């Protein structure tokens, strides 16, 4: 179910929160969702806004499209498009767990660390880093750079 900002307090303390851009979605993300689900609470997915994704690359799918796709994944109970910041969502939602990939260990943004400490949110690092959306995009674009141009029809 896709939920809005005003609905977040309804789920306080009762979810495991995951988050990211998920653009493009890949098998590592599915393993990440599955690991979060194994914590025994409904999984809340905080989907990054188009504005945030655009700081990394031009969005492939819009935030609303990514939310619909992620919401259809069986491991995800609740989906939210983040228009503020992850720290603001942590403060409003107050999940029991904030689940991140091991690649984030020791490098979570300070505002997220502060929110988790202040609200007694347990940060759980899972070893599910199988790929990277950024790497997939770089590989795709480098493949395009070396590809021959299509011939105009009629030649």
Q: Which domains does the chain have, with CATH numbers?
A: 5-141 (3.40.50.620)
Start-to-end C-alpha separation, the chain = 51
pLDDT confidence band for 48 (50 / 70 / 90): very high
Q: How many helices (H) and strands (E) does the chain have?
A: 6, 5
pLDDT confidence band for 155 (50 / 70 / 90): very low
Distance CA 115, CA 22 (A): 23
Whether the CB-CB separation of 98 and 73 falls below 8 Å is answered with no
pTM: predicted TM-score of the whole model, two decimal places: 0.86
Scan for tokens 């609200």, then name that residue: 119
Tens digits of residue pLDDT in 73-121: 999 999 999 999 999 999 999 999 999 988 889 999 999 999 999 999 9
Encode burial over 139-152: b for 16+ CB neighbours within 10 A, e otherwise.
eeeeeeeeeeeeee
* Torsion angles phi and psi, residue 147, rounded to 5: -80, 140
Sheet bearing 97-101, strands edge to edge: 78-82, 43-48, 16-20, 97-101, 122-126
pLDDT confidence band for 28 (50 / 70 / 90): confident
Average pLDDT of the segment spanning 121-134: 82
């Amino acid at each position: 179910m896709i939920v809005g900002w005003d609905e977040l307090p309804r789920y306080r303390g009762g979810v495991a929160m995951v988050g990211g851009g998920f653009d493009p979605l890949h098998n590592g993300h599915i393993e990440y969702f599955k690991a979060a689900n194994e914590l025994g609470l409904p999984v809340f997915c905080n989907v990054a806004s188009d504005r945030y994704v655009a700081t990394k690359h031009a969005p492939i799918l819009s935030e609303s499209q990514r939310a619909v796709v992620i919401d259809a994944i069986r491991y995800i109970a609740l989906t939210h498009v983040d228009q503020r910041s992850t720290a603001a969502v942590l403060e409003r939602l107050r999940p029991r767990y904030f689940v991140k990939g091991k690649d984030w260990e020791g490098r979570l943004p300070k505002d997220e660390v502060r929110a988790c400490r202040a609200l007694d949110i347990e940060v759980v690092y899972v070893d599910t880093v199988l790929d990277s959306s950024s790497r997939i995009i770089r590989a795709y674009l480098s493949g395009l750079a070396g590809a021959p141009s299509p011939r105009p029809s009629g030649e």
